[in-house]
C-alpha cells in the first residue's frame, strides 16, 4: 500500500540523517561544485520589507489590522515602516549586486494592485513593482515573484471572510492574471503562495497570525473561528486557487512569456523519536499533515490517505475535474526549510485535548527528546540547527514525489535583537555562516551523490526585518538594520562569506 511505502521511505531517511560525516561538509563549499545554472538568491516579503502602508493608494491587509491589535505582536510593534524597501529598493538592489547574487525573491502586495481586493487597478502599485523589477534586471538579478505572502486585502476578509469562501478563487485568479499581464514579460519565475500550511494553521487554528481565527478556549483568545474545520477549508481554497491560476498561465501566457509557476511550502523535517513502529508511523503522519497536505494533491490529485481517514468529513473533497486540474499544476516545488523536530505517537491523546486540526495527525512534534534539545538553537524558539535534515528532506521529496524540480525558497537562522549587543559584535555572525555552510553542504550532497533535482537556494533574508508575531525581536538578515538610525544597512560577516562563495570556482 502507498502509506506503507511512505513509512518505509521515512524510516530509510532516518538513517540518512544520522549517517556518517558528509564528504562535502569536510571542506569549504564552492559555487563551482553546484550544477551549472544553479541559482543563489535572497528572499523577502512585501509586508515585512516595504513599509509605506498608507502610500500611493495601497489598501489595508489583514496583517495591518492584526499587527495593530493589542497583544498580537510580542514587542507591540507594527510594520508600518518595516525596513522601508518601498523607498530604498534601489540601494538594496545594489547590495545584492555587490554580493554577486543571481536572483531576488520578493512578494507583491495584493492590496497595492487592488486596494479593495478587486475592481479598480491601482496604477501607482503597478508602477512601483515595474520599477523594482526593472531595477533588478538592470543589475543582472532575476526576479522571483511571490503572488501571496499572507497579506490578504482586508476588504476581502470583511466582504466574505477571505480564504474561507470559494469566491476567493476567482478574485485571486483576477489578481494573478493582472500580474501576469503587467509584469510577465520580465518575470519568468512565479510562486503563487508562500507557506499555505503556516497561514492555514497559524491564522485559522491557533489564531497566532492574521486573521487570528480559532475556537481554542471558547473564543476567549480569538473572537471567531472553528479550529477543527477552517484550516482545511482555507487550504482547499488555496490549492484550487493555485491550480486555477496555473491553468490560466499555461493556457494564455506561458507560450509567450516562457515562465514557470510553482508554490513554496514550509517543511520541518521530522525524525522519529524512537525506532518503534508507532513512532515511525506517527512521523509519517506528521509529514502527511504538513507537506503531504499540499504536495500530495499537486502530485497525485488528492489528499494523503492518513488525512482522509483521520479527518473524515471535515476534509473537503475534490471533484474529478478539480483533481485533474490540480494534479501536475506545479512546474517546481518551493521548499522553505529551517529545522528538524522529533515526532512521536500521541498515545495519550495529549494533543487531542486541543480539539483542533493540529491534533488530527495523532503525532507530537517537538525539538526535544527526554528533556534534551535535538541540537543547538538559534534565537527563535522553534529554530534548532540540524543541517542533516536538509539532505533527508530532499531525498524524501525525490522518492515520494518523483524527483520534481525543487528550489529552496527560504533557509536561514536568526540572532536576537538585543539592545545590549554592540553594532560591532552584531556584525560578527559566525553562527549564521556555519549554519549556511552546513545546510548548503548537505544540500550539495543531496544533489551530487543522491541525484536530487534541486535548482536554487534563497537565503532568508537579505535584511533584518519585521518578523510577524515576533516583531523586531529577531534578526534573520545578512545585513544588519539599524532601527535607531534611519534604517541604515550594515553588512554582517556572512555577507563577505557569501561573496567568497559566489565567486569561488
**What are the catalytic residues?**
195, 410
First and final C-alpha spacing in the chain: 46
Secondary structure class of 272 (helix, strand, coil): strand
Look up residue 291 and give its DSSP letter: I
Secondary structure class of 206 (helix, strand, coil): strand
Number of helices and strands in the chain (H, E): 19, 17
Helix (H) or strand (E) holding 143: strand 142-148
Let me know if 316 is exposed, middle or buried by CB neighbors in 10 A (0-12, 13-18, 19+): middle
Let me know if 256 is exposed, middle or buried by CB neighbors in 10 A (0-12, 13-18, 19+): exposed
Other Cβ atoms less than 10 A from the Cβ of 317: the count is 11
Angle between helices 230-252 and 196-204 (to 10 degrees): 150
Other Cβ atoms less than 10 A from the Cβ of 442: the count is 24
- 454-459 and 406-411 beta bridge pairing: parallel
Give the span between the Cα atoms of 364 and 362, in whole angstroms: 7
Residue whose entry in the numeric block shows the C-alpha cell 483576477: 174
Amino acid at each position: 500500500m502507498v502509506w506503507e511505502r511512505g513509512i518505509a521511505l521515512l524510516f530509510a531517511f532516518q538513517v540518512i540523517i544520522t549517517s556518517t560525516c558528509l564528504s562535502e561538509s569536510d571542506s569549504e563549499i564552492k559555487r563551482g561544485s553546484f550544477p551549472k545554472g544553479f541559482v543563489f538568491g535572497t528572499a523577502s516579503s512585501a509586508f515585512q520589507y516595504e513599509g509605506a502602508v498608507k502610500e500611493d493608494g495601497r489598501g489595508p491587509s489583514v496583517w495591518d489590522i492584526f499587527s495593530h491589535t493589542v497583544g498580537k505582536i510580542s514587542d507591540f510593534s507594527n510594520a508600518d515602516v518595516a525596513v522601508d524597501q518601498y523607498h530604498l529598493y534601489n540601494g538594496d538592489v545594489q547590495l545584492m549586486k555587490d554580493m554577486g547574487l543571481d536572483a531576488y525573491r520578493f512578494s507583491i502586495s495584493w492590496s497595492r494592485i487592488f486596494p479593495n481586493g478587486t475592481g479598480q487597478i491601482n496604477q501607482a502599485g503597478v508602477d512601483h513593482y515595474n520599477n523594482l523589477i526593472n531595477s533588478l534586471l538592470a543589475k543582472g538579478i532575476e526576479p522571483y515573484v511571490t503572488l501571496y505572502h499572507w497579506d490578504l486585502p482586508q476588504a476581502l476578509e470583511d466582504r466574505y471572510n477571505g480564504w474561507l469562501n470559494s469566491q476567493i478563487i476567482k478574485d485571486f485568479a483576477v489578481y494573478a492574471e493582472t500580474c501576469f499581464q503587467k509584469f510577465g514579460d520580465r518575470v519568468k519565475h512565479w510562486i503563487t503562495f508562500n507557506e499555505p500550511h503556516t497561514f492555514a494553521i497559524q491564522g485559522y487554528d491557533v489564531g497566532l497570525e492574521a486573521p487570528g481565527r480559532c475556537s481554542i478556549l471558547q473564543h476567549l483568545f480569538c473572537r471567531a473561528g472553528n479550529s477543527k474545520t477552517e484550516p482545511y477549508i482555507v487550504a482547499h481554497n488555496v490549492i484550487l486557487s493555485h491550480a486555477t491560476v496555473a491553468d490560466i498561465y499555461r493556457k494564455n501566457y506561458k507560450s509567450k512569456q516562457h515562465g514557470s509557476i510553482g508554490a513554496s511550502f514550509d517543511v520541518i523535517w521530522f525524525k522519529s523519536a524512537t525506532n518503534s513502529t508507532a513512532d515511525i508511523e506517527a512521523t509519517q503522519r506528521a509529514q502527511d499533515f504538513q507537506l503531504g497536505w499540499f504536495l500530495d494533491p499537486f502530485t497525485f490529485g488528492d489528499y494523503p490517505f492518513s488525512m482522509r481517514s483521520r479527518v473524515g468529513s471535515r476534509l473537503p473533497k475534490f471533484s474529478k475535474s478539480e483533481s485533474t486540474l490540480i494534479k501536475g499544476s506545479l512546474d517546481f516545488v518551493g521548499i522553505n526549510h529551517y529545522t528538524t523536530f522529533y515526532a512521536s505517537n500521541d498515545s495519550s491523546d495529549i494533543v487531542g485535548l486541543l480539539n483542533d486540526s493540529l491534533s488530527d495527525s495523532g503525532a507530537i512534534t517537538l525539538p526535544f527528546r527526554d528533556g534534551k534539545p535535538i541540537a543547538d538553537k538559534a534565537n527563535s524558539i522553534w529554530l534548532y540547527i540540524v543541517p542533516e535534515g536538509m539532505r533527508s528532506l530532499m531525498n524524501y521529496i525525490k522518492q515520494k514525489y518523483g524527483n520534481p524540480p525543487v528550489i529552496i525558497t527560504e533557509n536561514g537562522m536568526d540572532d536576537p535583537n538585543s539592545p545590549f549587543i554592540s553594532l560591532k559584535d552584531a556584525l560578527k555572525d559566525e553562527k549564521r555562516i556555519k549554519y549556511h555552510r552546513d545546510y548548503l553542504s548537505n544540500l550539495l550532497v543531496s544533489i551530487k551523490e543522491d541525484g536530487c533535482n534541486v535548482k536554487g537556494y534563497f537565503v532568508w533574508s537579505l535584511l533584518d526585518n519585521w518578523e510577524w508575531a515576533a516583531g523586531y525581536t529577531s534578526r534573520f538578515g545578512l545585513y544588519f538594520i539599524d532601527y535607531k538610525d534611519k534604517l541604515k544597512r550594515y553588512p554582517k560577516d556572512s555577507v563577505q562569506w557569501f561573496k567568497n562563495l559566489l565567486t569561488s570556482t
